[in-house]
Structures are given as C-alpha cells and as structure tokens.
Amino acid sequence: MLRILIIDESRVRAAELCAGLVTAGHQVAAVLPSVLDLTAQIEAIKPDVILIETNSPSRDTLENLAVMSRDMPRPVIMLTHENDSDVMRAAFKAGVSAYVVDNLDLARLKPIVDVAIARFEEHQRLKREVATATQKLSERKIVEKAKGILMKTRGLDEGQAYAALRKLAMERAQPLVKVAGDLVAMAKFLL
C-alpha cells in the first residue's frame, strides 16, 4: 500500500482524488493546499508518491518540485488542464514523473500511479549510471594526469608510469586514484 500525498487547492477535487486512491488500494498520507515548504512537508509526512492537481503549474510550483526532486526525490504525478508542451517539459525537468492533461477518470488512477513509479525508478537508475560514469571519467583523468607527470619527470613510457602508480598504490594500500590524486597535488607544488 503506497502512501500518497495530495496537493490540491480545491478541497472538492482533493476529496474525489482521496476516494479514487483509496479505491485503487492506496493510502492518502495527507492533503495540502499548495507546494509551499514542500521539502519540510515531505520530511514530516514521508509519502511514497506525490500527486498534484493544478489548473496550470506555476513557476513557484515547478521550482519547489525541482528542489524536492534534488533533495528528496519521489515519483510525482501532475494532473492539470495545461497542455502547453513548454510547460510540460518544464514539469518533467522539475521532476514530474507523469503529466496527465484534462479530466481524470478516477478508474485510471492505479495505472497512472504505476506508470509514474516505473518512470521515476528508471530515471533514478539513469541518474545513478550517469553519476558513476562521470566519476569514473574524472578518476581516469586524474590517473592519466599522474601518468603524464611521471612520464615527464622520470622519463618513463606510459606502461612504466602506470606500473609505478600501481606499485605505489599497493605499497600504500590505497586506491590507484587516491595515489594518482596525491601525486598530481604534489606536482602542483613542486613543478
């Protein structure tokens, strides 16, 4: 059973959404009238999913979502009447997982929640992959820079420079990138 936070200015629409979510087998964690102080609300409520009903997402709404998405990512479903593609892109960029335009048939809530969660999980996986690849590239650059320093200062070829770095890393029982980083830092002072 998922805990869903509803954000809707209209109490009538919020009540309809609550009923539809309960019928779909979810628990409504809370109902808020706006996204103001969203990060603090999420910390307190700890919802699994956030559902926002709005006529048109405002700039403030999207900014609050972007901060929340960065600090405490959650699947976000936005129900709106705004079908402008630029607004839709801005919503996705802010962290919205599902953007549903026009009137919602409450029977569709469960599959919409399921799609939003699947899309959110895939997006999070891709972000982790990009972060890992970026970190590996950064580490590789440091090792390459350290090899270059050894090649220049000691007259080693690339293989010998790499072997020297590996040997030093093993002697110090430190990761290769740590030893390479230390060498690059020292070279800045000495060269």
CATH number of 33's domain: 3.40.50.2300
Domain assignment present for residue 113? The answer is: no
Q: What is the pTM of this model?
A: 0.79
Same domain, 100 and 183: no
Domain assignment present for residue 65? The answer is: yes
Same domain, 43 and 99: yes
3-state secondary structure of 89: helix
**How many domains, in total, are found in the chain?**
2
Same domain, 85 and 14: yes
What's the count of helices (H) and strands (E) in the chain, helices before strands? 7, 5
For residue 184, is pLDDT > 90? yes
Helix (H) or strand (E) holding 150: helix 109-154
Query: Which CATH number belongs to the domain containing residue 147 in this structure?
Result: 1.10.10.10
Same domain, 78 and 145: no
For residue 191, is pLDDT > 80? no
CA-to-CA separations, 133 to 73, 120, 139, 160, in angstroms, rounded: 21, 20, 10, 26
Domain assignment present for residue 116? The answer is: no
**Surface-to-core class of residue 119, CB atoms within 10 Å of its CB (0-12 exposed, 13-18 middle, 19+ buried):** middle
Residue that is last in its domain, among 104, 119, 152: 104
Same domain, 31 and 91: yes
Same domain, 43 and 80: yes
Same domain, 15 and 100: yes
Same domain, 95 and 8: yes
Residue that is last in its domain, among 88, 104, 120: 104
Domain assignment present for residue 91? The answer is: yes
Q: Where are the beta strands (DSSP E) in the chain?
A: 3-8, 27-32, 49-54, 76-80, 98-101
Domain assignment present for residue 124? The answer is: no
| Sign of the four-CA dihedral 40, 41, 47, 52 | negative
Per the structure, the complete domain to which residue 84 belongs is given by 3-104
* Contact assessment for residue 17 and residue 6, using Cβ atoms and an 8 Å cutoff: yes
Same domain, 161 and 99: no
Q: Give me the percent of the chain exceeding a pLDDT of 70.
A: 99
Domain assignment present for residue 75? The answer is: yes
Same domain, 92 and 23: yes
pLDDT in tens, 79-120: 999 889 999 999 999 999 999 998 788 888 999 999 999 999
pLDDT in tens, 57-81: 989 899 999 999 999 999 999 999 9
Residue that is last in its domain, among 89, 104, 119: 104
Domain assignment present for residue 119? The answer is: no
Domain assignment present for residue 118? The answer is: no
